[in-house]
Amino acid sequence: MQQHVNLEIMGFVEREILPRYNQFGHSHGMVHVQRVIKNALELVASTGADINMVYVIAAYHDLGMEGPRAIHHLTGGKMLAADMRLRRWFSAEQIRIMKEAVEDHRASASHAPRSIYGMIVAEADRDLDAETVFARAIEYGLENYPELDKMGQWKRFDSHMEEKYSSNGYIKLWIPNSPNEKRIKNLREIIVDKPRLQQVFERIYTGLMDK
């Protein structure tokens, strides 16, 4: 099994694809996509997936943020499939699988990913380190709802945590025994403890506002 990403593909992605993430703000920007790529590549060995396909899917997964966020997963899939440059390295069947994987990565998707590739990128996108989850959610609120005051931001943040990450939330994990199983347990322990969650919010919010 190939253990390293093809250097030509990596060079292309680093030149032509990753810089486009700089326009998406910090919550979905360069730091985020690089983290998803790292997480995805770590899942290759345990799943037997093609490392080059995994790398490209992870690199393209949020590119659809160039359009409406609500359909960014669908837009991103179309962008990958339409990028003729990828045909230098991948067959039409591989590109179809990669397109579907990008479409399937979204946490709120109503159906399970259609392939192991969709499962890998969905799992990799679930960066469930508590500090990262909280910081990204607060950053997103500040970037997209600047009209909200501090209390409004807290209410939006708390509601989002309940809706997405709580034990009743819509987020799902697809790879058994992945590092995310332990992380989501820790995350849920904080979310259910509202005074503790509010302390975390206060600390991160204050730090962001002081920048």
Tell me the two tokens of residue 7.
């250097």
Phi/psi at 149 (5° precision) = -80, -175
CB 188 within 8 A of CB 166: yes
Q: In this structure, is the dihedral angle defined by the CA atoms of residues 24, 32, 129 and 72, taken in order, positive or negative?
A: positive
Which residues lie closer than 8 Å to 43 by C-beta, 6 or more apart?
A: 49, 54, 120, 123, 124, 175, 178
Positive or negative: CA dihedral 120, 182, 42, 28:
positive
Q: How many CB atoms lie within 10 A of CB 167?
A: 10
Percent of the chain surpassing pLDDT 90: 70
Q: pTM of the entire structure? A: 0.75
Q: Cβ contacts of residue 115 below 8 Å, gap of 6+?
A: 97, 100, 101, 104
What does the block give as tokens for 52? 């080059």
pLDDT of residue 197: 97
- Tell me how far apart the 2 most distant CA atoms of the chain are, in Å: 54
Per-residue pLDDT of the chain (211 residues; tens, 9 = 90+): 568 999 999 999 999 999 999 988 777 789 899 999 999 998 898 888 999 999 999 999 999 888 888 899 999 999 999 999 999 999 999 999 999 999 998 866 667 899 999 999 998 988 788 998 999 899 999 999 999 999 999 999 999 999 999 999 988 888 887 788 888 999 999 999 999 999 999 999 999 988 7
